[in-house]
Amino acid sequence: MSEPDARSPQPDTIVVARSPGETRYALMAEETVLAVAHRRDADVQPGAVYHGRVKAPVPGLGAVFVDYGDALPGVLYVKSQPPEGSAVAVTVAVPPRPGKGAELKPVKVSITSSAKLPLLAEPAPEPVADWLARYGASIRAIICQPLREVARVRAMLGDDAPVESHTADADVFAAFGVDEAIEAALRPEVKLPSGGSIIIEPTRALTVVDINSGGSDPARANAEAMHVLALELRRRNIAGHILVDVIPTKARTALPRILTKALAADPIPAQVVGLTSLGLLEMTRQRMGLSLAEALMDKGELSAASTAYRALRAVVREAAKSGAPQWVVKVSADVAALLQGTLARAVSEARDITKTEIQIAADPGFRRDQIDVRPA
């Protein structure tokens, strides 16, 4: 049996969508979504550089806590422990997660002794700039929405960048199938071309992947699963220790080679260790930022923040269709608390965009993902 085609499509399109409090990015190749990123103004961004202060050692680890300005201190692994209270320059490798501070890395930049610490020294690089630098001439179009985002991205990338405006009324993420791809990437099951499937189940310690042939040829299902898994790891930004429960076949010894080849297009370093004595395929992928599920979900459902941003996108979209001067956004209590607190600046941005008054109303009977937007 021949292996599935291992060629990876070359990225050709970047989609950029600005909405109140958030900029969303998608990297695409031949209408396939390869990667997505959500840059939320209120969140700590991977790649941002901070000047902070050492607080205390982390018990039992070669690391120290660093106050870099967030509510929770970050963790910085060090070879030799710097004095408590000393200034240190760090970059965010992994943003904070619920109950966990950010993972930090040291950077070699000078710190002005008179500076008031902590402070943000350099904002995080934008995904669109990183992708254009990496893929260069293969990027044929950078599609932006709304129109003011075209000017911002063009000013950042230069006049030679292929920046275009998405002029249709529909949300650009919906129009290019990115929303649909994100919804699929938040589900555990992924179909294989021959009729089988893989189940991707992240846990606290590692990610487990199960391959099901679904009545098709098991060897072919295994081989197809390697290519599908390589894409899903990138699209979902899954990192850490990954175990794949492959279907026992005589051809399974070739699977580490097939997966290694399939991962070649992924810019994030990964290592395929091989098959364990129990026949599990073992690999690791470097952690760079949050996974898609960590960024958008909370305990198996859409997070309050994700619903809040979705509500603001909805009111901007509806206000563009109507001349109503006032709008009511009805959401669950926890979503309303965010919009009235941490995300108040995003609500102000929505008011500036729509030139209307926007009221946030909490309904205790609403599910977290439920939104109702209507004129006041």
- Give the range among 141-150, 167-176, 183-192, 204-213 with minimum mean pLDDT: 167-176
| Residues 207 and 318 reside in one and the same domain | no
Q: Which residue, 179, 197, 214, sits at the end of a domain? A: 179
pLDDT at 113 over 90: no
| Residues 155 and 33 reside in one and the same domain | yes
Cα 300 to Cα 162, 188, 202, 293, 295: the distances in Å are 38, 11, 11, 9, 12
Q: Is 363 contained in some domain?
A: yes
| Residues 79 and 197 reside in one and the same domain | no
Q: Is 43 contained in some domain?
A: no
Q: Is 36 helix (H, G, I), strand (E, B) or coil?
A: strand
pLDDT of amino acid 312: 98
pLDDT of amino acid 33: 97
Q: Which residue, 122, 140, 168, sits at the end of a domain? A: 122
**Mean pLDDT, residues 123-150:** 96
Sorted by sequence, the CB contacts under 8 Å of residue 253 that are 6+ apart come out as 275
pLDDT in tens, 51-87: 999 999 999 889 999 999 999 999 999 998 899 999 9
Q: Is 347 contained in some domain?
A: yes
pLDDT of amino acid 109: 85
Q: Which amino acid is at 339?
A: L
The residue segments making up the domain with residue 353 are 299-375
pLDDT of amino acid 98: 83
The DSSP result for 187-216, as a single string, is: SSEEE-TTS-EEEEEE-SS-EEEEEE-TTS
CATH number at residue 255: 3.40.630
| Residues 195 and 275 reside in one and the same domain | yes
| Residues 138 and 168 reside in one and the same domain | yes
- Give the range among 3-17, 128-142, 198-212 with minimum mean pLDDT: 3-17
Q: Is 108 contained in some domain?
A: yes
pLDDT of amino acid 106: 95
Q: Is the pTM of this model over 0.75?
A: yes
| Residues 32 and 139 reside in one and the same domain | yes
Q: Which long-range contacts (CB under 8 A, 24 or more apart) does 196-202 make?
A: 196/221, 196/224, 196/225, 198/225, 198/228, 198/229, 198/232, 200/229, 200/232, 200/236, 200/238, 202/238, 202/291, 202/293
Q: Is 292 contained in some domain?
A: no
pLDDT in tens, 157-183: 999 999 999 988 889 999 999 999 999
pLDDT at 310 over 90: yes
Portion of the chain with pLDDT greater than 70, in percent? 97
Q: Is 98 contained in some domain?
A: yes
pLDDT of amino acid 81: 87
**Mean pLDDT, residues 188-211:** 96
| Residues 230 and 326 reside in one and the same domain | no
Q: Is 263 contained in some domain?
A: yes
pLDDT at 111 over 90: no
| Residues 171 and 31 reside in one and the same domain | yes
**Mean pLDDT, residues 41-58:** 96
CATH number at residue 17: 3.30.420
| Residues 231 and 369 reside in one and the same domain | no
Q: Which residue, 263, 285, 307, sits at the end of a domain? A: 285
| Residues 259 and 226 reside in one and the same domain | yes
CATH number at residue 333: 3.40.1260.20
| Residues 192 and 112 reside in one and the same domain | no
pLDDT of amino acid 1: 45
Q: Is 172 contained in some domain?
A: yes
pLDDT in tens, 255-272: 999 999 999 999 999 999
**Mean pLDDT, residues 352-358:** 97
CATH number at residue 110: 2.40.50
| Residues 106 and 150 reside in one and the same domain | no
pLDDT of amino acid 146: 96
- The number of folded domains in the chain is 4
Averaged pLDDT of the chain:
94
